[in-house]
Chains A and B, each alone.
Chain A
Amino acid sequence: QVQLVESGGGLVKPGGSLRLSCAASGFPFSGQYMNWIRQTPGKGLEWISYINGDSADTNYADSVKGRFTISRDNAKKSVYLQMNSLRAEDTAVYYCVRVARLADVWGQGTTVTVSS
């Protein structure tokens, strides 16, 4: 069945970096837009980035633009989120989500905590 499994979350100091990974299975990965959405108790759900199948089309929320980079490896059926210059407000559960605009399948999430 369709499955998305995130990994890479953890505790990091402000200003640090972290790379999240999402392994996909059960569907034709290379043809799908993939996305990262995060959730915090304070700000709720926030769609932070998407990437299309051939990596030609990417976009970012203003809150992460210039600090986060989305990428994918279709041979490994994986999507990544490189997070640099992390701030306390980036503390959240990060979800890997399939399909732009429609968000039909979500992973279980990985928790990122930015704290000194």
Chain B
Amino acid sequence: DVVMTQSPLSLPVTLGQPASISCRSSQTLVYSDGRIYLNWFQQRPGQSPRRLIYWVSHRDSGVPDRFSGSGSGTDFTLEISRVEAEDLGVYYCMQGTHWPWTFGQGTKVEVQ
């Protein structure tokens, strides 16, 4: 199975400041259609995961533009340009290229 490794696992942040989460895959994630199936999800306390980013850098409708995704090969990053209180929660990366599709361990973003 493809292992998705996130860092850090805990990210203390200051509201209004930037934040960055890294995700590394144990294999490259280019699918046969040429796309990279690397997604990012946000899970607020008591809620289901919500997709923020798909295909590495495509932001979902309704997701604030302070969220951005980047990366290639086996290294990917989710960045929040200015953290707001509603951004607190756990973030997961996920690969949908190689079955079984797998998730990272999660990064908890909390107020410093």
Contact B48 A46 (CB under 8 A): no
* Chain B: interface size category: 20 to 34
- CB-CB under 8 A for A106 and B105, given A45-B94, A59-B99: no
Contact A44 B99 (CB under 8 A): no
List of A residues within 8 angstroms of B94 by Cβ? 45, 103
Instruction: Report the bound CA distance from A108 to B46 in whole Å.
Output: 10
A95 within 8 A of B: yes
- CB-CB under 8 A for A106 and B37, given A47-B100, A59-B99, A100-B96: no
B77 within 8 A of A: no
Interface of A is mostly: loop
Contact B96 A103 (CB under 8 A): yes
A36-49 vs B, CB cutoff 8 Å, 1 = contact: the mask equals 00000000111100
- CB-CB under 8 A for A103 and B106, given A45-B94, A59-B99, A95-B48: no
Nearest-CB distance from A68 to chain B (Å)? 13
A107 within 8 A of B: yes
List of B residues within 8 angstroms of A88 by Cβ? none
Q: List A residues at the B interface (Cβ < 8 Å).
A: 44-47, 59, 61-62, 95, 100-109
A-B contact pairs, 9 of them (CB 8 A): A44-B106, A45-B94, A45-B103, A61-B100, A95-B48, A101-B37, A101-B96, A101-B101, A106-B48
